[in-house]
């Protein structure tokens, strides 16, 4: 029996995780669930999965959840705040932590799970992008097992040999696929007009709002390049991105003999989630099988055409940030989180997201990053700079 804590259980990845777990009651026990503000959703999940602990971001939401739980006769312990998340993530009664909080808000709990040596299923890519070497050191020192949940990284992990020591000698490069998001054929003039609703309507994946906007700007792929660099220990020059609008090939590994191994499947997050939960084995995920008879077309296009570079300026920032002083990725992430939130709140236009990121990167000096407090201070400074840049932008 694996005892699982799902951090961010009310989100898109969180709900998919519980859907997979519910298919295997003999293998998994849900011991903790956490959410930011959705009391009713977390209540419903607690009634179904009966965890020992539930955590909400604030005390008000926690008090409401607790009242509702008690009214239904549940004794689930209710806690709130970041320390409670860290406590749950490192608890001795937890074997596996699904890190599915969105953004740098999930950094400290994800790091706590790493330090405590958990089996760590990483959906929260921002935690690794921001944490970088510090994150990897926590995994190493804590003896954690880090398993990728992002579909591209799960694909690469599945296509790589089990023996990590052989990767540098055998692997030429990895090729991340990108669907291109909802605005793949939009002109710059059209991009200036798009709404949050349009940005969140991804053509192939159903996801939370922040990652949906990131997919539309291609920042998601930039974050994934950084994520791949840290997860697989590959030089940035060995990571390539190719457009693949159907999202069937989830990513590929090219070996030194030029043989390419790809992982395919329907675009359903339950596949990488089930792989992370069952690794090194396999188990049912609930996803539909690929129907090769109905697959008319698997197409690929270069990402690095002049047109795509102009349409998606965010992508190149991944390689630029990895070549810059450590901490630059944290600045990039913070600026993006502020800009995306402002776009979702209709305070800036879609095409102004990049201006905020660009401006923040120009103004904030990354400095030395010896520990988590230094990293959090850099995150705070970057957010303040990005927020002040917002004020100068007009709709």
Applying CB under 6 A, the span of 99-107, 249-257, 301-309, 327-335 interacting with ligand NAD comes to 99-107
Applying CB under 6 A, the span of 119-127, 163-171, 289-297, 353-361 interacting with ligand NAD comes to 119-127
**Binding of ligand NAD at residue 269 (CB under 6 A)?**
yes
Strand pairing report for 239-243 and 249-255: unpaired
Helix (H) or strand (E) holding 360: helix 353-363
Nearest-Å Rg of the Cα atoms of the chain is 20
Residue closest to ligand NAD (Cβ): 11
* Closest CA relative to residue 153, chosen from 272, 321, 243: 272
Q: Which residues are within 8 A (CB) of 74 and not within 5 positions of it... i.e. 6 or more apart?
A: 46, 47, 50
Q: Rounded to whole angstroms, how far apart are CA atoms 185 and 207? A: 21
Name the binder of 100 from Mg ion, ligand NAD, none, CB < 5-8 A by kind: ligand NAD
**Binding of Mg ion at residue 150 (CB under 5 A)?**
yes
Judge whether 222 and 344 are in contact, CB under 8 Å. Answer: no
Judge whether 82 and 59 are in contact, CB under 8 Å. Answer: no
Nearest-approach distance from CB 239 to ligand NAD, in angstroms: 17
Name the binder of 333 from ligand NAD, Mg ion, none, CB < 5-8 A by kind: none
Compare residues 152 and 381 and give the one whose CB is closer to Mg ion. 152
Nearest-approach distance from CB 40 to ligand NAD, in angstroms: 12
- Of 188-207, which residues contact ligand NAD (CB under 6 A)? 205, 207
Applying CB under 6 A, the span of 35-43, 62-70, 131-139, 380-388 interacting with ligand NAD comes to 35-43
Contacts 24+ apart (CB under 8 A), 81-89: 81/55, 81/57, 82/108, 82/109, 84/55, 85/7, 85/34, 85/55, 85/109, 85/112, 86/112, 87/112, 88/5, 88/7, 88/32, 88/34, 88/53, 88/55, 89/5, 89/7, 89/113, 89/116, 89/118
Nearest-approach distance from CB 77 to ligand NAD, in angstroms: 17
Q: What is the dihedral of CA 269, 275, 278, 284, to 10 degrees?
A: 60
Compare residues 81 and 267 and give the one whose CB is closer to Mg ion. 267
Applying CB under 5 A, the span of 77-85, 102-110, 148-156, 267-275 interacting with Mg ion comes to 148-156
Applying CB under 5 A, the span of 31-39, 132-140, 147-155, 260-268 interacting with Mg ion comes to 147-155
- What count of Cα atoms within 13 Å lies in the side-chain half-sphere of residue 69? 27
Residue of 66, 126, 227, 337 that binds ligand NAD (CB under 6 A): 126
Residue of 5, 13, 287, 341 that binds ligand NAD (CB under 6 A): 13
Q: Rounded to whole angstroms, how far apart are CA atoms 82 and 56? A: 9
Residue of 150, 227, 268, 337 that binds ligand NAD (CB under 6 A): 150
**Binding of ligand NAD at residue 105 (CB under 6 A)?**
yes
Residue of 208, 313, 327, 359 that binds ligand NAD (CB under 6 A): 208
Residue of 61, 125, 244, 250 that binds ligand NAD (CB under 6 A): 125
**Binding of ligand NAD at residue 102 (CB under 6 A)?**
yes
- What count of Cα atoms within 13 Å lies in the side-chain half-sphere of residue 321? 31
Q: Rounded to whole angstroms, how far apart are CA atoms 67 and 46? A: 13
Nearest-approach distance from CB 269 to Mg ion, in angstroms: 9
**Binding of ligand NAD at residue 11 (CB under 6 A)?**
yes
**Binding of ligand NAD at residue 21 (CB under 6 A)?**
no
Judge whether 104 and 207 are in contact, CB under 8 Å. Answer: no
**Binding of ligand NAD at residue 273 (CB under 6 A)?**
no
**Binding of ligand NAD at residue 12 (CB under 6 A)?**
yes
Q: Which residues are within 8 A (CB) of 51 and not within 5 positions of it... i.e. 6 or more apart?
A: 30, 31, 32, 33, 76
Compare residues 105 and 374 and give the one whose CB is closer to ligand NAD. 105
- Of 38-97, which residues contact ligand NAD (CB under 6 A)? 38, 57
Q: Rounded to whole angstroms, how far apart are CA atoms 154 and 275? A: 8
Name the binder of 14 from Mg ion, ligand NAD, none, CB < 5-8 A by kind: ligand NAD
Task: Identify any residues that bridge with 34 across adjacent strands, giving them in sequence order.
Answer: 55
Binding residues (CB under 5 A) for Mg ion: these are: 150-152
Binding residues (CB under 6 A) for ligand NAD: these are: 8-14, 35-36, 38, 57, 100-102, 105, 123-126, 150, 205, 207-208, 210-211, 269
């Amino acid at each position: 029996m694996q005892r699982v804590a799902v951090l961010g259980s009310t989100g898109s990845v969180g709900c998919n995780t519980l859907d997979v777990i519910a298919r295997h009651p003999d293998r998994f026990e849900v011991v903790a669930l956490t959410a930011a503000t959705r009391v009713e959703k977390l209540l419903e999940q607690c009634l179904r999965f009966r965890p020992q602990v539930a955590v909400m971001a604030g005390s008000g939401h926690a008090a409401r959840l607790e009242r509702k739980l008690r009214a239904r006769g549940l004794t689930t312990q209710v806690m709130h705040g970041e320390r409670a998340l860290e406590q749950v993530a490192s608890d001795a009664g937890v074997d596996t932590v699904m890190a599915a909080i969105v953004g740098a808000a999930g950094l400290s709990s994800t790091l706590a799970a790493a330090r405590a040596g958990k089996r760590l299923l990483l959906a929260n890519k921002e935690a690794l992008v921001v944490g970088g070497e510090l994150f990897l050191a926590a995994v190493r020192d804590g003896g954690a097992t880090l398993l990728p949940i992002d579909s591209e990284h799960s694909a690469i992990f599945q296509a790589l040999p089990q023996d990590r020591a052989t990767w540098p000698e055998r692997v030429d490069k990895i090729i991340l696929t990108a669907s291109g998001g909802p605005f793949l054929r939009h002109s710059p003039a059209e991009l200036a007009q798009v709404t949050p609703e349009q940005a969140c309507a991804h053509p192939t994946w159903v996801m939370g709002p922040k990652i949906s906007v990131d997919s539309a700007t291609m920042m998601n792929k930039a974050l994934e390049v950084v994520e791949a660099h840290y997860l697989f220990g590959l030089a940035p020059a060995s990571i390539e991105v190719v457009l693949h609008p159907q999202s069937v090939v989830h990513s590929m590994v090219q070996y030194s003999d030029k043989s390419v191994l790809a992982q395919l499947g329907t675009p359903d997050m339950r596949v990488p989630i089930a792989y992370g939960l069952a690794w090194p084995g396999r188990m049912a995920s609930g996803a539909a099988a690929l129907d090769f008879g109905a697959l008319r077309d698997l197409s690929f296009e270069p990402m690095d055409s002049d047109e795509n570079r102009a349409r998606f300026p965010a992508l190149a920032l991944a390689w630029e940030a990895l070549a810059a002083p450590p901490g630059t990725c944290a600045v990039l992430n913070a600026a993006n989180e502020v800009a995306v939130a402002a776009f979702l709140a209709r305070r800036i236009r879609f095409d102004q997201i990049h201006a905020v990121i660009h401006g923040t990167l120009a103004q904030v000096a990354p400095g030395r990053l010896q520990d988590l407090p230094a990293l959090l201070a850099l995150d705070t400074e970057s957010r303040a700079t990005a927020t002040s840049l917002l004020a100068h932008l007009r709709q």
